[in-house]
Structure 1
Amino acid sequence: MKFIGVDLGWKSQPSGLCCLELVAGKLKLVDLERKDAIADILTWIDAWVEANQPALIAVDAPTLIPNPTGSRLPDKLTHKYFGKYHAGCYPANQNLPFAERTINFGLELESRGFAHAPEITAQTPGRYQIEVFPHPAIVNLFGLERILKYKKGRISERRLELIKLYQYIVEILPKFEPVLCLGNLLTDKIPYTGAELKATEDKLDSLICAYVAAYWWYWGEQRNLVLGDRTTGYIVIPKSVLSYEC
């Protein structure tokens, strides 16, 4: 079973891509990439997940947007449950500029047999896709009191927050179940310039997405929250795992 994380660029910016593979009960990091065009992202996915091969794809973008205006139910629920952590998500509706791009990406995945999975039977092979949101996932996975603010602000401050995220990934995720084995694909060199820092951010976000995909498939609703549903749009978020794992 493979787990794909897509930190999708909502407009025309590049997207972070991660592929994890479950081998002998452990997650192996097999690729960590960044692509610009949607066509290139889909080609990358097709290369790693052949036709009829089981995989779960976790996308950090609203791929289901039923509402013409306002906010979706899952968007509102992130503010309700994670607002105190500064982890409420951006509202999505059909009239916003990014909507066509993100909706069509979900449809492209559906055309490849990746069905939306706001409900799942744990550890059942198949071809699935889910929407995820790294900020609340990071808060719950690592037991934080607020999000890591590596997306906005001065480059020096963003870099320090990104270093924290890297350290949490390499020190904590290998202690969870399923175990994450990072190998040598993930560099510990966090860059200093804005463009390179953004590239690293995209890749680390995609790794979090892929791990959330694996965690959802492995544990299902036992250790995950689902905000919304197939009709309203939904976001899958791990429950706070420190009480289970550490």
Structure 2
Amino acid sequence: MDFVNPQSSTVIFGFDSAWTDAPKAPGAICAVAYDDHGRVQFHEPQLVSFAQARRLIEEFRKNFAVSLVALDQPTVVPNAAGSRPVDKVAASLVSFVGGGVQPANRSKIGMFCDNSPIWSFISGLEATEDPIQARTASAGHFLIEVFPALALPALDDGFAQRLRAPKYNPQNRKKFRLEDWQAVARVVERSAERFNVPGLAEWAHQMRNAAQPRKSNQDKLDAAICALIGLFWRAGPTAHSAMLGDVDHGYMVTPISDATWPRLRQAAIRRGVPTSQVVDP
């Protein structure tokens, strides 16, 4: 993955919301910011509630022509039960590698019911939810839904093999593998190096060397992955990212690779889910 579309006056936020607004289990947010001259700065992840995240975004984005919030939580959930079509498409890959996709529907109290914090967050954010426009816009404030577990297999072919999804959640003590934690942090570090974001690369290197990562560290690492997904969408080769689904029924923006795209594309065709993936000339 190479940096092919230079950015300026642009800030990309990665927000791992943790889905609910539990004080003891906050989300995490970080930012990759480019000034008017294209110089980049990484703002390290910090733990936040939905309200804190929105205040941080609003205060920070004032200095940039373009702001993009890459959020790890479903943002379009019209279905009362079951799961969205895009969830099933994502599961075709995520389940294959040994992970899981939590179905999004409005019956989930605290996550997607009418009073869930995600809706007041999105309403207060006042961002345009148009991933295609967000990809090339020279001005504006945008929101996209992303999913780190879907992105990781595209960022490392080793994660794309059957049952090879990294087990890097320290909270799941039975399945957590320190070598998987290190591998994910290394993928973030390597991706940051390719996009020439040294601050993110250095931070990921520190995360890789953590002897005993905590759940809060994973939330921060996922926030960094969210920011990278947004960076891939804005600055990477067009053919290496795709939008699955649509803004009416639910969608996800994700990096893709030769190891992941055929499976996702076949699942989308099977289920009649639209995709937006452009082959570079």
Q: TM-score, normalised by structure 2?
A: 0.74
Q: Secondary structure at the match of 1:179?
A: coil
Q: CA RMSD in A?
A: 2.7
Secondary structure of the 1:43 match is: helix
CA pair 19-59 structure 1, distance change in 2 beyond 3 A: same
Structure with larger RCO (C-alpha < 8 A, sep 6+): 1
Identify if the C-alpha distance between structure 1 residues 31 and 172 changes in structure 2 by more than 3 Å, giving closer, same or farther: closer
Corresponding residue for 1:124? 137
AA paired with 1:117?
A: D
Write the distance in 2 (CA, Å) between the matches of 1:51 and 1:171.
28
Pairing 1:190–2:210 present: yes
| Partner of residue 69, structure 2 | 57
Structure 1 stretches of 4+ moved >6 Å: none
SS in 2 for 1:199: helix
Once the two structures are TM-superposed, the CA of residue 161 in structure 1 deviates from its matched residue by 2.0
1:150 aligns with 2:159: no
Residue 164 in 1 paired to residue 183 in 2?
A: yes
Asked whether 1:28 is paired with 2:46, we answer: no
SS at match of 1:169: helix
AA partner of residue 189 (structure 2): V
SS of 1:20's partner is: strand
Gaps of 5+ in 2: 1-9, 260-281
State the alpha-carbon separation in 2 of the partners of residues 156 and 64 from structure 1.
Answer: 31
1:81-118, Cα deviation, whole Å (9 max, x unpaired): 43211344210001102112223322222x2xx21123
TM-score normalised to the size of structure 1?
A: 0.84
Query: Which residue of the partner structure matches residue 18 of structure 2?
Result: 9
> What is the Cα deviation at residue 42 of structure 1?
1.2
Select 1:103's aligned residue among 102, 105, 119: 119
Aligned length: 235
Is the Cα contact below 8 Å between 1:6 and 1:16 reproduced in 2? yes
Change (3 A) 1:79 1:234: same
Tell me, in whole angstroms, the C-alpha distance in 1 between the residues paired with 2:165 and 2:197.
22
Match of 1:73 in 2: 85
Q: Deviations over 1:118-140 (max 9, x none)?
A: 32364322211100000111110
Instruction: Give the deviation of 1:227 after TM superposition.
Output: 1.6
* Structure 1 counterpart of 2:245, from 220, 228, 234: 228
Q: Choose from 208, 220, 235 the match for 1:203.
A: 220
Pair 1:170–1:185, CA change in 2 (3 A): closer
CA contact (8 A) 1:3 1:210 kept: yes
